[in-house]
Structure 1
Amino acid sequence: MLKELIELGKSVVIAIIAAFLIITFVFETVSVDGHSMDPTLNNKDRLIVEKVSYYFRAPKTGDIVVIKYPANPKEKFIKRVIGVGGDRIKIENGNLYVNDVLKKESYILEPMLGDFDEVTVPENTVFVMGDNRNNSRDSRFSDVGFVDYKMVVGRAALRIYPFNRMGSLSSVVN
């Protein structure tokens, strides 16, 4: 009996350690909270965030990423990478320009309001925005700003809920 309890205890400890390692280094699930990524992602969507690819490559333009909110790293935001190190970003008359090229963004909710003076994205950081540009706390605001790679949790890879919208997010237009 005691031997069986010890074996059971070992199995539980191993399972806990394995779960911790998977959640820490491989993937986790997150829930979308809010409307900043409408129409691509909706409030209460459940996503699988994979973390492995960013051990081998940096985030790239178009990736939908989960970041730690720089002003409160306990909070997480879901945004789209608009620019990477060296890119120049500006918004003029509601149009987004990256390196002086007008971006055609079929995935945004509605035309943007306002302008944003040109900035150059520092190396090892990304510039992120929500797809609902008029309702998104993102890199245009000083409390978010340029997001250091260390604050990028991972890439949103798969929507698992709602079931009628389940599928890969890599198929979402970048």
Structure 2
Amino acid sequence: MENQELESNESRNTGGRTKKVFTEGLHLFFYLVIVILSTFLIMHFIGQRTQVYGQSMENTLSNQDSLIVDKISYHFAKPHRFDIVVFPVDDKKNIYYIKRIIGLPGETVQIIDGKIYINNKLLKEDYGKEVIAIDREGLAAQPVMLGKGDYFVLGDNRNHSMDSRDPEVGNISKSSIIGKAWVRVWPLKKFGFLNH
């Protein structure tokens, strides 16, 4: 009789443990699904990871830097001068440029003797790695008038950047901007928010 009671208690304990393990496993699975779904939604609608290729944004960004791009801010606010933005190249899939906004809608941009002028006034900024060479003034050697919703962008490495000075890029529209480069996540020693 005693043995039967012991066996009955053991089977009850085993059944209880199995149920507890199953319940905990179900909770863990549920949390994993929520985390994966949240990550997907955040990366698809709010942020996007992108990587820098080339030297056009040096010294601010370097080749192989990994960034998180804020895709939501510009739905509520206009881009500002000096924001670092990401936009597609000729609507090719997965090929994007990363440049800094210099000219805003309605402004006139011109480069004279390697210096940037906005509405005939010298732009005070120190993002450029070097003075713009005369042969790199491109379209901006003449006044460039920006239409409503148009932006003029430059790479920080001004003499080694394909940007709004080039006819293949030209002015970019707000609707073509994917988002604002927000955080550098790699390399870890440079981790942090980007200076705009």
- State TM-score, norm by structure 2: 0.76
Quick check: 1:70–1:151 contact (8 Å CA) kept in 2? no
Deviations 1:121-148 (A, max 9, x none): 1111211110001010101111111111
* Alpha-carbon offset, residue 54 of structure 1: 0.5
Separation of aligned partners in 1, 2:170 and 2:142 = 13
Which residue of structure 2 aligns with residue 41 of structure 1? 61
Quick check: 1:62–1:82 contact (8 Å CA) kept in 2? yes
Q: Which amino acid aligns with 2:85?
A: V
Separation of aligned partners in 2, 1:67 and 1:164 = 26
Does the residue aligned with 2:42 lie in a helix, a strand or coil? helix
Among residues 153, 161, 165, which one is paired with 2:178 in the alignment? Answer: 153
Which residue of structure 1 aligns with residue 144 of structure 2? 119
* Alpha-carbon offset, residue 29 of structure 1: 1.1
Quick check: 1:39–1:131 contact (8 Å CA) kept in 2? yes
Which residue of structure 1 aligns with residue 104 of structure 2? 84
Residue 128 (structure 1) aligned with residue 153 (structure 2): yes
Which residue of structure 2 aligns with residue 64 of structure 1? 84
Across the aligned residues of Structure 1 and Structure 2, the Cα RMSD in angstroms comes to: 2.3
Number of equivalenced pairs:
170
Q: Which amino acid aligns with 1:145?
A: G
Report which of the two has the higher share of strand: 1
In 2 relative to 1, CA 73–88 (structure 1 residues): closer, same or farther, beyond 3 Å?
Answer: farther
Q: Which amino acid aligns with 2:176?
A: M
In 2 relative to 1, CA 94–73 (structure 1 residues): closer, same or farther, beyond 3 Å?
Answer: farther
Q: Which amino acid aligns with 1:30?
A: T
Report which of the two has the higher share of helix: 2
* Alpha-carbon offset, residue 11 of structure 1: 7.7
Higher mean displacement: 9-18 or 131-140: 9-18
Quick check: 1:65–1:156 contact (8 Å CA) kept in 2? yes
Gaps of 5+ in 2: 1-22
Deviations 1:97-133 (A, max 9, x none): 1111212332211111113211111111211110001
Higher relative contact order structure (alpha carbons within 8 Å, sequence separation ≥ 6): 1
Q: Which has the larger radius of gyration?
A: 2
Gaps of 5+ in 1: none
Q: Percent identity of the aligned residues?
A: 38
Which residue of structure 2 aligns with residue 31 of structure 1? 51
